[in-house]
Amino acid sequence: MATRAVPVDLVRRLLRTGATPQVARVVDGLAAGELGTLYAGLDEHDRRHLIEAVLASEDAGGSLAELPEEVRAEALADLRDERIGDLVARMPPDDAVQLLGQVTAERRARVLASVAPARREEVESLLDYPEDSAARRMTTRVLAVDGSTTAAAAIDAFRRHGDVEDVFYLYVVDGDGRLTGVVPIRRLVGAPPDRPIGELALRDPIAIPASADQEEAARLVAQHDLLALPVVDAAGRLLGAITVDDVIDVLREEATEDMYRMAGLSESDRILSPFKRSVGRRLPWMMLNLATAFLAAGVVGLFSSTINQIVALAAFMPVIAGMGGIGGTQALTVVIRGIALGEVEFSTAQRAIWKELAVGATNGAATGVITALVALIFNGNPWLGAILFLAMLLNLAVGGLAGAAVPLALRRFGIDPALGSGVLVTTFTDVIGFFVFLGLATLALPWLR
């Protein structure tokens, strides 16, 4: 299926002729995610005017939410508190919470003071939950009825409540508001009009506590193929629901977070981030990597005499280090993904470590044979080939072991497995790879000569 082209050239021409109302209509017609692409295709001057058009659009709050995070922060900084309050009043409560998360607590209070009491109370109730909790992502605009309600009456209730967001399920609650069942809309529409909702409901529905992590909510939705996940309090009372579009946002954010942390980057460092911010975010991790590189260089320095005598060793050192790094990164990626999806628990951690160790050793043996043959062809010394084979075997085995054990150990101590794992695994493979390769070469020096 062909993808629709974002009208960058059209918007650029409209912006430069001052046709802000027309740009606002174009913005209203863009699908989720296209606004960010449009913004990236404009220069700095046109971007400022695009923000003005976004704020003038009919769905200003929703459009603003589609812009890059740093752009939203700059746009909010330029708006009056009352204007932000107007956006909050017209946005779904969960989107409003995400928007207010980018302003200071002091300014948030001023903004909410300009919002109608009912909406202010609704938004503040969500802001009371932890930042990455399921409740922060839920919409409170769900429809819940008693089990004795007929199908016809339930459909009428949907008609009367036009503010129900993304209708996928009808929720059944008891007299105390506790969730007792879920009715898919398809089942409701096809039921006889006088059929009680309680007879249509799926009992023991999957739900998530309000204080649970948003990543757990995303995992449950993916695991059970849900379109929405009900959120309940400690007593089981229905508070709201997390819809599938919010789950997609969570998965995107969590994937970005893990990817960035594995590379030693901050989430605020994006393609459109200012130059100084990118340097400031990346330089500390570069310094840490430099320190570990000096550690590996120190290991090489221990065997400088061996390298001086057998110069061919220097040609194969990058091969040993590079292959070990790749093997460790592969194992690290698989294990961190397994942790994120709930596939790796404490009971299966040992099996995962042994499996990655075995995979690394097997790959090391296979690549070691090829490396040994290449060394034999170009150097003619079978001892060099044997050392390369053993070094490759051991280094990839260590890479697999470190790639699995490091993130699991960090998780055991309550540290995000993605944070710093890449640096630690690379250090293991570089240091041990050089030590094994050059150490074996030193022991076999009489034969290598």
Domains of the chain listed by start with CATH number: 8-131 (1.25.60.10), 144-259 (3.10.580.10), 275-448 (1.10.357.20)
Distances (CA, A) of 234 to 179, 206, 210, 230: 12, 15, 8, 13
What mean pLDDT value characterizes the chain? Answer: 83
Instruction: Report the alpha-carbon distance of residue 219 to residue 313 in Å, rounded.
Output: 48
pLDDT at residue number 270: 59
| Average pLDDT estimate for 265-283 | 66
pLDDT tens readout for residues 396-408: 999 999 988 888 8
Flag whether pLDDT at 1 surpasses 50. Answer: no
pLDDT tens readout for residues 140-180: 888 888 988 899 998 888 877 756 656 788 899 998 899 99
More confident residue, 286 or 322: 322
Highest mean pLDDT among 6-20, 250-264, 357-371: 357-371
pLDDT at residue number 349: 80
Helix ranges (DSSP H) in 41-146: 44-56, 60-65, 69-77, 81-90, 93-100, 105-113, 117-127, 134-137
pLDDT-derived band of residue 334, with 50, 70 and 90 as boundaries? Answer: confident
Residue matched to tokens 């050239």? 9
Instruction: Report the alpha-carbon distance of residue 125 to residue 389 in Å, rounded.
Output: 62
pLDDT tens readout for residues 44-68: 778 778 877 877 777 777 777 767 6
pLDDT-derived band of residue 268, with 50, 70 and 90 as boundaries? Answer: low
pLDDT tens readout for residues 290-326: 888 888 889 999 999 998 888 889 889 999 988 998 9
Flag whether pLDDT at 255 surpasses 80. Answer: no
pLDDT tens readout for residues 173-222: 998 899 999 998 888 888 898 999 888 989 889 999 999 988 888 888 88
